[in-house]
Amino acid sequence: MCGCVHSTQDQALHLEGEPNPPAAPTSTLAPKNMPKSISISKQLASIKALRKGSDLEKAIATAALVFRNSSDPDGKLGKATAKNLLQTQFKNFTEGQETKARYKDLLSELDEHTENKLDFEDFMVLLLSISIMSDLLQNIWSVKITQ
């Protein structure tokens, strides 16, 4: 559960126009002797179907790449890796939530997850649940959208 190798099922899904998938980028949890990681923006740019993709498509693709880059060879995230991603990649949504009962419940559910690992669907449900209850969402709703 090092979080530094992407899943074997994702190895079969290679980027359009490329004969072989790129090497697995490492996560922030990887040892220093691991190869340098490829940025998410470069990974997104290499996906031909997303070159004219919508903002929403790119947002979901980004979440999928963050998950894949941090998942174990089985395509799952361990609890520690999932919590680390929440703290490092989702901190603006989790900030200030630590005292809220619902947030505590979500983390308890993560701790009690039967397999002790999250698949992509579980990860996305967790992100959406935290997003919906976050203070940041209220700030997003208040953004002016017309001139």
**Residue-by-residue pLDDT tens, the chain, 147 positions:** 333 333 333 333 333 444 444 444 344 444 444 456 888 889 988 898 888 899 999 999 999 999 999 999 999 999 889 989 999 999 999 988 888 888 888 888 877 765 778 999 999 999 999 999 898 998 899 888 887
> What's the pLDDT score for residue 1?
35
Beta bridge partners of 77: 118
Q: Using DSSP, state whether 117 is helix, strand or coil.
A: strand
* 42's tokens: 């470069």
Beta bridge partners of 78: 117
In sequence order, which residues have a C-beta less than 8 Å from that of residue 58 and are 6 or more positions away? 44, 50
* 124's tokens: 């996305």
Residue 142 amino acid letter? S
Beta bridge partners of 118: 77
